[in-house]
Structure 1
Amino acid sequence: MLAFLARSMARPSSLVKPVALRKLPGRYLAHQEGLPALPVPPLQQTLDRYLLALQPIISEEELSHTKQLVEEFRKPGGVGERLQKSLERRARKHENWLSEWWLKTAYLEYRLPVVVHSSPGVVLPKQDFLDRQGQLRFAAKLIEGVLDFKTMIDNETLPVEYLGGKPLCMNQYYQILASCRIPGPKRDSVVNYAKGKKPSTHITVVHNFQFFELDVYSSDGSPLTTDQIFIQLEKIWNTSLQTNKEPIGILTTNHRNSWAKAYNNLIKDKTNKESVRSIEKSIFTVCLDAPMPRVSDDIYKSRVAAQMLHGGGSRWNSGNRWFDKTLQFIIAEDGSCGLVYEHAPSEGPPLIALVDHVVEYTKKPEMVRSPMVPLPMPKKLRFNITPEIKNDIEKAKQNLNIMVQDLDVKVLVFHHFGKNFPKSEKISPDAFIQIALQLAYHRMYGQVCATYESASLRMFRLGRTDTIRSASIDSTAFVATVDDSGKQDQEKAELLRRATQAHRAYTDLAISGKAIDRHLLGLKLQAIEDLVSMPELFMDTAFAVAMHFNLSTSQVPAKTDCVMCFGPVVPDGYGVCYNPMAEHINFAISAFNSCAETNAAQLAHYLEKALLDMRLLLQSSPRSKL
């Protein structure tokens, strides 16, 4: 039965298609139940792979010390075995042994601001409108496109995605609309209003720091048309022309503990509480931004990336956001547009599938002009600003502006070739790009570093991510040899191929639930839960080095010519996201200005050179049979 269901659910990968008119009840549930549970990898296997992963990034002396700790940890009947058994017991009781832990430790208990430190942005292609009419018309069409996608989610007619012939967990798609993060003193929470007796029927629109509740469904339950939404957006625009309002949204940019305190203070007032609840319950948010400061074409995309991540600071558009909202589309008067999303409910790929659908939708010609039925005025959300709240806003502004000044973002459009070139060499484009990053970093710093690449665990029920560790013994052998004039190109090309194959092999392990990072995290969290004193393995310097990701990277491929961007995860690191198109590659690289050792533009320069040098190597060396 499940096999039949899986076959009947298989569809072409393009999401741009008419929405199925009939609901397929229970299809989502049947699909989810057919997915395997996330396995707990064998302990010995993880410990062996952990030592291999450490080899390129720590000294031999440190490695020999860690080997002793590993031996101690893996002893029969020892602490490792006890924790492994507890973890296996947990896996039998939970739908997914990791997902709840991961949500808490990676997101909800993380106390740094979501802005820059957690929430990714997406830069969409620049639109050619140059005025308010164009901005509002595009925004209206985009809203209609998101509602079209929402219908597929509501009807459970969303095409199931496959990877290597295996169906993927679709749960994240059901978490991204009508959801919001709520700050708490020690741990945040996420609420979702998509289901229940009264599902949300409105979106939030922000213009000039002022928030509006806009109902996007008519009384018969059908979504408003582009024309109708456009008229409503015009009303919002005209009502929000005076800018002397306090930028209440800027509070959401603060450190989570400070924001939790300010939040509780804010919602003491009944009016404020109602307004905040309206934002939280809305399907998504649309931010109608003021135009960005004019910049030259070569840095334009980098500036847009920064706008998507943080809004440019208190003088620009940062007050035009509610950063706790899961999904915020940003459309500026000058044609720059994109989105920012709160990371707790979802990874990038479901967001990008939504983006691909919406961007295609905005290109569709208007079929019918809607008859103009009078629509109610969108509701302005009011806030009573006490001196204490004003003080919280001022503090949040100061902290945000420091953060904005500190973030350096560089968008690189690599024009020389795209994913078609590595494919023509029978090399995985992702592996090729990751090895180029290893080479670029090695040339800049004379060493390799712990590198994180996100791997999807969506082959499993409620799967999130594990880590592909791109710094391997094979990648290190290649980057250490490539600039050695004493070595033949043939040998270098062979080492390059071996490095890409090793990366591909680790990727396959990771997506099939056999990587080391989440397993080690599980053992560590299990020790805390079982009140076992923390094993020395996790107190070791080598473990700290292994978890200090100077390169935090992610491939987020899209049909749309866009790129996702995010901040570094450590003060002396880089965030690197990329979208490999057929004939070019979009990169977004971030670093902190406060770190003297890092420089986003410099890494971009070295990355471009690495990609070109690697192509040259392969072209000058005929393929050998490894």
Structure 2
Amino acid sequence: MAEAHQAVAFQFTVTPDGIDLHLCHEALRQIYLSGIHSWKKRFIRFKNGVMTGVYPGSPSGLLVVLVGYMSTTKYAKIDPSLGMFTKLSKHLPISKYVTEEGQRVVGGVLIGTGLWIAVTFVMRNVLKYLLSWHGWMFNRHGSLNLKTKIWLVLVKLFSGPKPMLYSFQSSLPRLPVPPVKDTVRRYLESARPLMDDEQYKRMEGLAKDFEKNLGPRLQWYLKLKSWWASNYVSDWWEEYIYLRGRGPIMVNSNYYAMDFLYVIPTTRQAARAGNSIHAIMMYRRKLDRAQIKPVSLYLLEKRVPLCSAQWERMFNTSRIPGLETDVLQHMNESKHIAVYHKGLFYKVWMFYDGRLLLPREIEQQFERILADKSEPQPGEELLAALTAGDRVPWAKARSQFFSRGKNKQSLDAVEKAAFFVSLDDTEQRYDPENPVQSLDSYGKSLLHGKCHDRWFDKSFNLIVFKNGTMGLNAEHSWADAPVVSHLWEHVLSSDPVRLGYTEDGHCKGNPHPNLLGPQRLQWDIPEEVTSNCQAVISSSLKVAKALADDVDMHIIPFNDFGKGLIKKCKTSPDGFIQIALQLAHFRDKGKFCLTYEASMTRLFREGRTETVRSCTTQTCDFVRAMMNDKREEKLKLLKVAAEKHQDLYRLAMTGDGIDRHLFCLYLVSKYLGEDSAFLKEVLSEPWRLSTSQTPLQQLDLFDLKRHPEFVTSGGGFGPVADDGYGVSYIILGEDLINFHISSKHSSPETDSHRFGSNIRKAMLDILDLFQLDNKANNK
């Protein structure tokens, strides 16, 4: 494809008669419309900032207070300034310049505004106090005690009308720092089933010594930080767990989300890209205007607000490599996306005539890209492998080869894009005739692709395959999976239903006759230079290929039963699955292991995640009982294990988890130059089973009873330990649970397919304990 013409505002030539000036009216018009668009966005952001800043008060509330106050003082003939002007007139000649009526108006406005500010301040702090209480988490499932009901009424009363996405941010409590004594006790409790008596006695001695001596000193610094910072964990977690990692983020950090499992709305690649990109941009518009509903937990149809801070960097964000640490670069505005197809990079504008492109117009742009038969420039085809390999070589190459000229301009176009799109030249989908291989291939393609056809540093990549299937690959440092999942649910619900396609599979609408085509990005990556950039690209690709080839991915659409039957067992679905994973792992490896289950702490300001250590003494007792004990004993131990798991999950969500606390204590010890044998051992323990549930958050967008075919496959991530498993699962409707299992081929201890079989068997064996078929027959 020839490079698109660049619009110029004016041209001039010097002639014997003087300067001949030619104005391009279309370019000037586009500049004018662009300016209008920018000022509209600034005004909207300013307005949203005001609305959020005064919440749970509102400007309309201020108007009501002023009108009411002024009316009352006027008819009651009360001085609204409460004698303020009389006192000031003794020192300032105010009364000479302000009439008596003017004094009344100004005084009323000042006193009314002060009253409104006071009421808003009280409401906000009462709401903050209410949201600091988490006793509602410990109610028995499906029922609320009187205290919780009163609490819900008060939260509703003090929450104010029509909250926006960020309205609750200033009312959310800070994450508390748990007592060192409690953290040490809970750690020892979690470590007991994984150690023999001698190992446990030694660890207990280290823990008690830490609790008595170094722990209180480190705790003092953490408490100081918790009073000063919005969240005592999140900034350190982002920096040290994500941004300071020097290994590849592909597979090790990035995660993926899948398309619908059973249907593809259209097989036209450009059309699927058109609708999905338009839906994504519409979501961004809502996000910019803070029109997305505040994310919440539901407590018997009542909303409990969660932190929305992670939404701020969803778009226009890239991870920039550094020698010691990466940084996140976020732009306030970006009007284009970056696209990759068959080794070529493009910049595609998303706006024309001051408006967002329509789906058919976006499809038109992608049809032009798909029709391009140009050859990649030297080094261009494999360039994105730099983002898939180790971070230090990428940082050095970026500084040396991409800091000036056309390389810098093109790299800026990629890094400052709203997001990245990869038009994949392979076909992926669920094939009922070959379900195992088709889904495994699909998952691996989304996780790492060819290692050079995704820009892994972008906040997220939209991947559209040749046959119209699509998915996401997301960078992890800026946000956790539920945030990306929220966006993805919006896209999937908008694509086939609200936007739709024509009978021949195109986006609805008509192509634009005057739309400028995509712009080919230009690169200068010569082969023969002193420090060869292509050698760095090849080296990064080699590292990434070895990592990708080692991934053993297996995806199971488990449809034997789902949430519906689990609820009949009067057991938490998440607890049921976690206990099944422990049973499956014991059968798979013949031993228990330290298990990571991700929980969220977004009940607190800027909260991210906490760990639930789901391999407990109670769960281990149940798993051993499954080997030979009687059914009644197994059921008894299962109930105890499920209740213990739920307690741990609640503690993690309400700020009483142990792993983030231990992580921060360890960091403080390093800052102080203090060595702790206890903390060093705790932080070096490998998570050989890492698990996470992907929740379906916007249930109102999907009617799975009427349209069960529009069910997503969820998403997954790579293995955390070299000899361990990564397991992601999503509970869909009443009858389906999708598992995404990853491990490494190089480990002789793991096999994702074998583990998948063990998960299926464990799920069925636990369900059999309840003998639901017998109960139904007896009825």
The correspondence of residues 184-263 of structure 1 with structure 2, limited to 5 A, is 184-193=322-331, 195=332, 199-220=333-354, 222-239=355-372, 241-242=374-375, 245-263=380-398
Shift in Å, 1:188: 0.5
Which consecutive unaligned segments of at least 5 residues does structure 2 have? 1-53, 59-122, 128-160, 502-507, 697-701, 703-710
Cα deviation for residue 270 of structure 1 reads: 1.3
Which residue type is aligned with residue 459 of structure 1? L
2:588 paired residue number? 444
* Per-residue Cα deviation, 1:541-600 (whole angstroms, up to 9, x for no partner): xx256x310001100023642221111111111110001112111111000011111110
1:62/1:262 CA distance change after superposition, 3 Å: same
1:477 and 2:621 aligned: yes
CA distance in 2, matches of 1:475, 1:308: 34
Are 1:152 and 2:304 counterparts?
A: no
Gaps of 5+ in 1: 9-23
Alignment partner, residue 267 of structure 1: 402
Partner of 1:128: 264
The amino acid that maps onto 1:520 is: L
Overall identity of the aligned pairs, in %: 31
- With normalisation by structure 1, the TM-score equals 0.90
Q: Is the 8 A contact 1:55 1:473 kept in 2?
A: yes
SS at structure 2 position matched to 1:618 = coil
User: Quick one: distance in 1 between partners of 2:339 and 2:514?
Assistant: 20
The structural deviation recorded for 1:418 is 1.2
Indicate the larger mover: 595-604 or 26-35.
26-35
Matching residue within 723, 728, 731 for 1:572 = 723
8 Å Cα contact 2:166-2:290 kept in structure 1: no
Q: Distance in 2 between matches of 1:287 and 1:240?
A: 17
Partner of 2:26: none
The structure whose Rg is larger is 2
> What are the superposed Cα offsets for residues 395-446 of structure 1, whole Å, 9 maximum, x if unpaired?
1222222112211100011110111221222211111111000000011222
Task: Find the counterpart in structure 2 of residue 399 from structure 1.
Answer: 543
Structure 1 residues 3, 497: closer, same or farther in 2, change over 3 A? farther
> Could you tell me how far apart the structure 2 residues matched to 1:375 and 1:25 are?
39
User: 487-496 or 507-516: which moved more?
Assistant: 487-496
Name the CA distance, whole Å, in 2 between partners of 1:548 and 1:571.
Answer: 9
Q: In structure 2, what is the Cα distance between the partners aligned to 1:331 and 1:371?
A: 20
Selected match of 1:389 from 529, 533, 555: 533
After TM superposition, the structure 1 stretch with the greater mean CA deviation from structure 2, 492-501 or 244-253, is: 244-253
The Cα offsets for residues 269-328 of structure 1, whole Å up to 9 and x where unpaired, read as: 4111111111111111111100248984431011100000100x3xxxx32211101110
How far off is 1:28 after superposition? 4.8
Distance 1:405 1:522 in 2: 35
Alpha-carbon displacement from aligned partner over 1:14-73 (angstroms, at most 9, x marks no partner): xxxxxxxxxx99955542101111110111111110100101112211111111112111
Matching residue of 2:87? none
Match of 1:459 in 2: 603
Q: Distance in 1 between matches of 2:218 and 2:683?
A: 20
Report the Cα distance in structure 2 between the residues aligned to 1:365 and 1:89, rounded to whole angstroms: 51
| 1:339 Cα deviation from its structure 2 partner | 0.9
The partner residue of 2:749 within 576, 597, 603 is 597
- Matched letter for residue 594 of structure 1: S
Find the aligned partners of 1:287 and 1:293 in 2 and give their Cα distance.
14
Counterpart Cα distance in 1 of 2:695 and 2:493: 16
Match of residue 69 from structure 1 = 206
| SS at 1:52 equivalent | helix
Match of 1:342 among 466, 475, 481: 475
- Determine the C-alpha separation between the residues in 1 that align with 2:197 and 2:435: 48
Q: Tell me the amino acid that sits aligned with residue 590 of structure 1.
A: S
Q: Summarize the Cα distance change of 1:2–1:48 in structure 2 as closer, same or farther, 3 Å threshold.
A: farther
Q: Which amino acid aligns with 1:578?
A: Y
C-alpha distance in 1 between matches for 2:499 and 2:225? 53
SS at match of 2:194: coil
Q: Which residue number corresponds to residue 43 of structure 1?
A: 180
| 2:633 is aligned with 1:497 | no
- Displacement, 1:161? 1.6
Taking the aligned partners of 1:270 and 1:26, their CA distance within structure 2 comes to 47
Scaled by the length of structure 2, what TM-score is found? 0.72
- CA shift for structure 1 position 268: 3.5
Q: Secondary structure at the match of 1:461?
A: coil
Amino acid in the other structure paired with 2:618: D
Change (3 A) 1:240 1:352: farther
Conserved? CA contact 1:129–1:334, under 8 Å: no
Q: Partners of 1:136 and 1:183 in 2: how far apart?
A: 32
Structure 1 Cα separation of the partners of residues 541 and 760 of structure 2: 36
2: CA distance between counterparts of 1:440 and 1:241? Answer: 51
Q: For 1:515, which of 651, 657, 660 is the aligned residue?
A: 657
Matched, 1:55 2:207: no
| Matched residue SS, 2:318 | strand
In the superposition, relative to structure 1, how do residues 240 and 31 fare at CA in structure 2: closer, same or farther (>3 Å)? farther
Corresponding residue SS for 2:690: strand
- Give the drift of 1:334: 2.3
Question: How many corresponding residue pairs?
Answer: 588
C-alpha distance in structure 1 between counterparts of 2:538 and 2:617, whole Å: 50
Instruction: Give the corresponding residue for 1:611.
Output: 763
Matched, 1:535 2:676: yes
User: Is the 2:428–2:469 contact (alpha carbons within 8 Å) kept by the matching residues of 1?
Assistant: no
Name which of structure 1's ranges 392-401 and 405-414 shifts more when overlaid on structure 2: 392-401
RMSD between superposed Cα atoms in Å? 2.4
SS of 2:346 mapped into structure 1: strand
CA contact (8 A) 1:210 1:320 kept: no
Equivalence for 2:254: 119
Contact 2:165/2:295 (<8 A) preserved: no
**Residues in 2 aligned to 1:79 and 1:477: alpha-carbon distance in whole angstroms:** 34
SS of match in other structure, 2:181: helix
Say if 2:703 is the partner of 1:561: no
SS of 1:449's equivalent in the other structure is coil
Task: Give 1:224's aligned amino acid.
Answer: L
Q: Is the 8 A contact 1:207 1:240 kept in 2?
A: no
Following the alignment from structure 1 to structure 2, what is the Cα–Cα distance between the partners of residues 521 and 424? 39
Distance 2:729 2:567 in 1: 17
2:46: which partner in 1?
none
CA distance in 2 between counterparts of 1:407 and 1:480 reads: 31
Q: Is the 2:56–2:167 Cα contact (8 Å) retained in structure 1?
A: no
Match of 2:489 in 1: 356
Shift of 1:252: 0.9
Q: Is the 8 A contact 2:347 2:519 kept in 1?
A: yes
Spell out, residue by residue over 1:112-144, the C-alpha distance to the aligned partner (whole angstroms, 9 max, x if none).
Answer: 10111000011212653785xx11001000001
- For residues 439-482 of structure 1, the C-alpha deviation after alignment (integer angstroms, 9 at most, x for no partner) is 00011222210000111111111111010111011111101111
Asked whether the equivalents of residues 175 and 231 of structure 2 are also in contact (C-alpha less than 8 Å), the reply is yes
| Higher mean displacement: 551-560 or 49-58 | 551-560
CA contact (8 A) 2:742 2:752 kept: yes
With over 3 angstroms needed to count, the CA separation of the structure-2 counterparts of 1:72 and 1:504, relative to structure 1, is same
Which is worse superposed, 495-504 or 366-375? 366-375
